[in-house]
Structure formats: structure tokens, C-alpha cells
Amino acid sequence: MNSNLKVAIVSPFPPSKCTLNEYGYHLVNHFRQNNDTKEVVLIADQLPEGQVYEFDAEGCPIEVRPVWQFNHWFNFWFILNTIRQTKPDVVLFNIQFLSFGDKKIPAALGLLTPWLVKLFGFPSVVLLHNIMEEVDLKTAGITQNPVLAALFRFIGTMLTRLVLQADLVAVTIAKYVEVLEKKYKVNNVALVPHGSFELPPMPSFDLPEGPKRVMTFGKFGTYKKVEVMIEAVELVRQRIRVPLEIVIAGTDSPNKKGYLAAVQQQYANVHGLTFTGYVPEEYVPTVFNESAVVVFPYTSTTGSSGVLHQAGSYGKAVILPNIGDLGQLIKEEGYAGELFEPDDAESLAEAIQKVVENDDHRRHLGVQNYFAAVSLPMADIVDWYYLHFGRLLQAA
């Protein structure tokens, strides 16, 4: 085992609004608390004026370099230049295909960075949260044009080949390993589970006094749409006397600016409907703890779900669409939840009703999800990374 490493982590970090910022927060903090880490260099995106990055005192030293910008064409150079200046022992990228931009050219150029880092002699590891082969371009809001979809698939294949030029590519779902190895004939792909962010003590599984809160959490507007959830709760209200509230926690997807504002206007007459906006990290536990059930109103998936792992760590029952990666994840990691057919308010209403009117069932789901979450804490996931780092550095 190589100990006392200086690790550079390329990732968004709160209060950045870029996707994967929350995963970056927990990843960085757990690396800082690992005994094998000498120093962390966080290579983050630039914040709006007046905002700053803040870090806990606990853990090893951290140096933050906010050098890249969402949709900037030269992020690859800014990041590479920073790595050459700071000289880390290993570089870890916490990314997905649209991490560096939602415009095609800057997004693609950003994905060149892990390969360039390797060319300049730094061990390069990519945590890739989604793969193009498993993304529904239509429901993810990228394109509905079949010609453009074919073009994006071709470009996605080329970019995946470039990402796979890194020393190691980690994915969070076993199926992704199989797909990449079979299609691209590579042997540098590893399964590294998502991990649970925090390990709170076992919750009571009881709820606060008052209405039961049906909550969803995320970035909405593309393949995550809240209309079906609002309409489903309205159906449940007509059938049972259990008082319910609806909580939409989070923000618009970068691809759908103004989506939540339009939904809020459309459903202004629905009582007990709350839009929280962006949830700062310190308020995330409260949002989960006050909820009776966490709903995933997705029409498709683009990888493992951080929200599912969070819900589990707080002992929450979940309601999931009967699709793709989420179903795979439940089987692999031992989560449990009610399933519904995507974009079907009646199906979702039935699932919600089963949970909110049966507290024993709700608790049973919450208990199983809690134990699934604590079985794979992120502290252990960081140890997995160090095993891979050690092999890379020994082979160098």
C-alpha cells in the first residue's frame, strides 16, 4: 500500500451548482479523513462573485484551485496546468459526460483531460457516473432527433474511447463494467460502488407530528419530472384520509432552466406543495428526516443514484420507477422500495398509498434501506480507491 499520497480530485464542490457537487463534497471529505492521504488538491469550478469554498477543519490539509468553468472550451488546459503546478501523486476525476458543459464542444473537450493528464505522466483515474450506452438521449433531454441521436452516439463512443485511455476507469454499476469491456475490449475498468455519504446512527423510523411528507430531491426538468408526482399525491388524497404534503427539494437541470418555476405556477392551486430550491449541505439531513417517503419521478436513469444512497442512510422508504439502472442497483446493493411504471400517475399513486397508509411497511422498507446503506460506507470506498492507486503506482 502506498501511504501519504497527495491526491488531486477534479470535481464540483458545494456551493457550486454543477452536477455531482454533493458527491464531490463527500468524496473529498472522506479522502481527507483517510490515513493514507497526505494532502488533497481540489480542482474545482469557479464560483460566482461573493461565493467561496469552505472546508471542515477535520482531516488532512486541502488546497483548492477553482480553475475551470462550465462550458469553457479550455478547461482541459486549465486543469492540466494546475496538475503540473501542484504535482499530485495521483489524479481522480469525479465526472459524467456533461460535467464540463451542456454544450457539445466544451463538454467533449473537457473529457479529453484524463487522457492528457496521463500523457503528462500523472496516474489518471476516472470515476465515471454514467456511460453513453445506457443513457436514453430522448428522455435525458439531450435530443429527440434520431439523426442527431445517432451522431451523438457516435461521438459518445469516440469520447468513451478517450476516457478509457486513463489508467483506470471506475464505474458504480456492475453492468457498466460488462458493457465497456465487451464493446471497447479494455481491461482497465473496475467496479467501485457508489457508497453512502454518511453513516448516521440508526434512526427511530418514526415521523414528526403532522402531515406525512412525500419528497423528491434532485435536479429536475429532463428525465426527472415532478408533475407526475404532484398528480399522484392528489389522487392519493382523494382515496385516503392521511394528510399529505409534497416537497420538491432541489433545482432545475442545467438543460431546463425555468422548469420548476413553470411547474410551481401550473400547480399553484395545489395545497401543501413546497419548492425548497437549492438545499445547502447542512440542511440536507433535515429535508430527509422530515419526509415519510422519497419518490424518484424519473422517466429514465443515467447511472447510480446518490439520492437513493442518501435516503437509505436516513432510513427512508423509497418509491422507484421500474426501469434500468435503479432496478439493477436495488438487486446489487440490497435496497428495497415500491415500484411504479414511469410517467404513470395512477401507478405512482398506488405505490405512494401502500407506503403512507401502512407505517409497518414504511418502517420495514426504511430499515432495509438503512442497512443497505451502512453496508457500503464511503470511507470503505476510499480504501478501495487506495488499493487501485497502489497498483497503479507500483506499475509506474
| pLDDT tens column, 249-291 | 999 887 788 999 999 999 999 999 999 999 988 898 899 999 9
Distance CA 45, CA 180 (A): 29
The chain-wide mean pLDDT, for the chain, equals: 89
pTM above 0.85, yes or no: no
Over residues 187-204, the mean pLDDT reads 82
Q: What are the beta bridge partners of residue 224?
A: 298
Neighbours of 296 (CB within 10 A): 24
Intervals of CATH 3.40.50.2000 along the chain: 5-195+377-395, 212-374
Residue 95 zone, left/alpha/beta (φ > 0; ψ -120 to 50; rest): beta
* Pure H helices in the chain: 21-32, 75-86, 104-110, 113-119, 146-163, 174-184, 227-239, 259-266, 284-289, 306-313, 324-333, 345-356, 359-374, 378-395
Determine the pLDDT at residue 327.
67
Radius of gyration of the chain (CA): 21
Determine the pLDDT at residue 136.
62
Phi, psi of 154 (to 5 degrees): -65, -45
Res 116 pLDDT > 90: yes
pLDDT, one tens digit per residue, over 18-44 is: 888 889 999 999 999 999 999 999 999
Res. 334 pLDDT band, cuts 50 70 90: confident
Picking from 49-53, 122-126, 137-141, 227-231, which range would have the lowest pLDDT averaged per residue? Answer: 137-141
Res. 1 pLDDT band, cuts 50 70 90: very low
Q: Three-state DSSP class for 74?
A: coil
Q: Is the peptide bond before 15 cis (omega within 30 degrees of 0)?
A: yes
Each as own residue / partner, the long-range contacts of residues 328-331 (CB below 8 Å, 24 or more positions apart, any chain) are 328/173, 328/174, 328/175, 329/173, 329/304, 329/305
pLDDT, one tens digit per residue, over 305-324 is: 678 888 988 999 999 998 76
Res 84 pLDDT > 70: yes
Distance CA 41, CA 79 (A): 11
The fold for domain 5-195+377-395 equals: Rossmann fold (3.40.50)
Kindly report the CATH class assigned to 212-374: alpha beta
